[in-house]
Structure 1
Amino acid sequence: MSRYDSMNKHLLAQFSDTEVMQAIFYAVSEEMQLIDTALKDLKEKRWINTGQGAQLDGIGHIVDRNRLIENAIVISFFGFENQTNTTGFGQARFREYSEPYLSSTSLRDDEYRLILWAKVNKNNSLCYMNDTIKSIQFIFNVDTVILQDIYNAKFIIGIGRILTGNEIVFANALDLIVRPAGVSCQSMTHFDKDNVFGFYNQKFAKGFGQAPLAEIFNSLNRKERLF
């Protein structure tokens, strides 16, 4: 309903056909409609799910997570099997010795919303084990997550979905997995929960020759990091 229609709707019956009142409403309704739109935007577009552009940047400033992600995208070069984001002969060029293989990126609004929610969750977490699992489920968009305590303030993570090379690098660059202070993630693996090798009594497991092993994709840049 427009502002002009709303003003007429709230008019007393004895003034409903008054030309002077109609003229006054018509004269001011357009400016008041602009005010209504601005107030609505202030109310609704300063939220992660509805904000755009500078509004999301403002939220990012509050939660301390900007759009720029350093070293988050793997540039495609020629390489061999099991190397991250590499292609075969004739599909990509060789990488020079000193040339970086990672590129920084500035997130689009739809990507940035996901990261902002993950950062909000991390900022407000009590760091229970379930909080860690939920943060991984959210970041990787996966239902199955296995977390195992290996003592001495360390744990390992299994993610029940095969991740792409860029998903792995991107997640490592963001560092949004919930962890208590002083507790380290020793390693992370990913696997197809419907097709993975394991041993007796292990959930999802299949036997020798029936499925591949889960793959370690991260040991936090080959060194232990504390959070």
Structure 2
Amino acid sequence: MTSYENMNSKLLSQFKKAVVLNAILQAFGRQMDEIKVALSDLSSKRGLSGSVGKQLDGLGEIVQITRKPRGFFQELSNDEDYRILVGAKAIKNTWLGDLPGAIELWDSVFPDRKLALMDNYDMTMTALLTGTEPVGIQKDLILSGFIIPKPTAVNMNYKFSEGKAFGFGVDNDTIGGFDSGYWARDLI
């Protein structure tokens, strides 16, 4: 429904045939529709998922991450990998520090992979990744601690399983029993 049609449907019946009023509403409605299209276009091209090149670099500046993050050995020239890093940094900046929040934020960056975080109660955590195995730069970013949020001074162990990981007495998205569980291995 166009803006004009929306405004015209709300008019009282006595004003629906007013020529001057309809001309004003059509002109105003056309401008409103153009503004809606421009805002939608701006949102899709300037947001994280649609930005490329310098636009993506600008988003990186906002969250304070460059294409060559400190502590990482190579520059991210690929926009797709840099987009993941920028999204992960934004998530880390807004993370409240709880395990369910970390998993929810992970799902927003990698919807095709599942994450389970386990607190080992000895200043270490285990991150269990299931689904497609990360490769290349994405794997390096995960192992370097740029993707998965964790509390300060806590060491992280990374495990991977092609499907649900094997576990006793648990059956959820990431862990399954004898029927559906796979042995998890170290992600190295």
Question: Normalized against structure 2, the TM-score is what?
Answer: 0.60
CA distance in 2, matches of 1:176, 1:115: 7
Distance in 2 (alpha carbons) for counterparts of 1:174 and 1:115: 11
List aligned pairs for 1:22-41, cutoff 5 A: none
Residues 107-126 of structure 1 show CA distances to partners (whole Å, capped at 9, x for unaligned) of 33333323222211111111
- Judged with a 3 Å threshold, the aligned counterparts in structure 2 of structure 1 residues 119 and 71 are, in CA distance, closer, same or farther, namely closer
CA distance 1:69–1:107, shift in 2 (3 Å):
farther
Q: 1:109 aligns with which of 75, 79, 83?
A: 79
2:88 aligned to which of 118, 124, 146:
118
Structure 2 unaligned blocks of 5 or more: 1-19, 21-34
Residue aligning to 1:148: 118
Q: Which runs of 5+ in 1 are unaligned?
A: 1-12, 14-35, 73-102, 219-227
| Greater shift in the superposed pair: 174-183 or 119-128 | 174-183
Q: Distance in 2 between matches of 1:71 and 1:165?
A: 19
Partner of 2:52: 52
Give the conservation status (yes or no) of the 8 Å contact 1:119–1:176: yes
Aligned residue-pair number: 149
| Equivalent pair of 1:188/1:217 in contact (CA under 8 Å) | yes
Partner Cα distance (1:214, 1:111) in 2: 25
Distance 1:170 1:214, change over 3 A: same
After superposing the two structures, state which structure 1 stretch, 129-138 or 116-125, moved more: 129-138
* Deviation >6 Å, runs of 4+: none
**Greater strand percent: which structure?**
1
Q: Deviations over 1:76-115 (max 9, x none)?
A: xxxxxxxxxxxxxxxxxxxxxxxxxxx7243333333232
Structure-2 change in CA distance of 1:43 and 1:171 (3 Å): same
* 1:108-187 correspondence to structure 2 within 5 Å: 108-166=78-136, 167-173=138-144, 175-185=146-156, 187=157
Q: Which of structures 1 and 2 has the bigger CA Rg?
A: 1
Letter of the structure 2 residue corresponding to residue 63 of structure 1 = V
Partner Cα distance (2:141, 2:183) in 1 = 23
Kindly, what percent of the aligned residue pairs are identical? 21
